[in-house]
């Protein structure tokens, strides 16, 4: 997993009156590392319907679709992965219920990171790296220095590391070389409306993805 880990956040999109399917389509044009649907307050039936709409779009683009929090909906919708937080279902239980799905996990301290790495998830997310406004009750800011430690530990465990929280195009430059991917919500949202909005989404996604996407290896086996 390298590049942009794009998050389709229904709450953030609704506040801008943006259609989630159109938004996802604009992001998928750059073939990001993954696309996650975050729908904290939506009914399960609505989330499942939207995941089922996004699944073929992602699969045509060759992009893994990630369901947030709900392994049951991920399985029903044909997702590739499920993402769980510290208060969600433990990784080992998720694997028992949905053995064919990849599992990513959020961590907010080095202790949580170590516990997650011991379970060898598909990827591990660390954050918030910077102050974020896309969550109503965010965890304390981790910062870049803690991320450096997390980067070394994730690399030693050979688990891809995803940074999340307050990541903008300007701040992302400080993370290059420390993480495999950046999870982004607000920075993908367009500043304009109308016919140019989705083109702006694609442009923003392309900039972030290109910063972290794996370069062509010089020698066989040189890529991480």
- Pairing of the two strands 34-38 and 65-68: parallel
- Report pLDDT for 143: 94
Is 217 inside any structural domain?
A: no
- Report pLDDT for 192: 82
Residues near 43 by Cβ (< 8 Å), separated by ≥ 6?
none
Is 74 inside any structural domain?
A: yes
Nearest by Cα to 1 from 83, 109, 98: 83
Is 107 inside any structural domain?
A: yes
User: What band does 122 get if pLDDT is binned at 50, 70 and 90?
Assistant: very high
- Report pLDDT for 221: 38
Question: SS3 for 113?
Answer: helix
Question: 4 near 214, Cβ under 8 Å?
Answer: no
* CATH value at residue 149: 3.20.20.70
Question: Per-residue pLDDT for 86 more than 80?
Answer: yes
Is 223 inside any structural domain?
A: no
Question: Per-residue pLDDT for 160 more than 80?
Answer: yes
Tell me the pTM: 0.92
Is 199 inside any structural domain?
A: yes
Question: Per-residue pLDDT for 177 more than 80?
Answer: yes
Question: 144 near 129, Cβ under 8 Å?
Answer: yes
Is 79 inside any structural domain?
A: yes
Is 190 inside any structural domain?
A: yes
Say how many CA atoms lie within 13 Å of 85 toward its Cβ: 11
> What domain count does the chain have?
1
Residue-averaged pLDDT of the chain: 92
Is 34 inside any structural domain?
A: yes
Mean pLDDT, rounded, for 121-137: 85
What range defines the domain where residue 51 resides?
3-212
């Amino acid at each position: 997993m390298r590049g942009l880990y794009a998050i389709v956040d229904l709450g953030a999109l609704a506040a801008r009156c943006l259609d989630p399917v159109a938004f996802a389509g604009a992001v998928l044009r750059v073939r990001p590392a993954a696309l996650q649907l975050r729908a904290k307050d939506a009914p399960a039936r609505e989330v499942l319907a939207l995941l089922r709409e996004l699944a073929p779009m992602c699969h045509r683009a060759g992009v893994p679709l990630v369901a947030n929090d709900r392994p049951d909906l991920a399985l029903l919708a044909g997702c590739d992965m499920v993402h769980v937080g510290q208060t969600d279902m433990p990784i080992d239980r998720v694997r028992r219920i949905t053995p064919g799905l990849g599992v990513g996990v959020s961590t907010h301290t080095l202790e949580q990171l170590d516990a997650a790495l011991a379970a060898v998830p598909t990827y591990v997310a660390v954050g918030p790296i910077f102050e974020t406004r896309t969550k109503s009750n965010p965890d304390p800011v981790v910062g870049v220095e803690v991320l450096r430690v997390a980067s070394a530990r994730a690399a030693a465990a050979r688990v891809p590391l995803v940074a999340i929280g307050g990541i903008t195009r300007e701040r992302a430059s400080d993370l290059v070389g420390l993480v495999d991917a950046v999870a982004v919500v607000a920075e993908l949202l367009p500043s304009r409306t109308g016919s140019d909005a989705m083109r702006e989404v694609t442009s923003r996604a392309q900039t972030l993805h290109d910063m972290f996407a794996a370069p062509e290896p010089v020698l066989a086996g040189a890529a991480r």
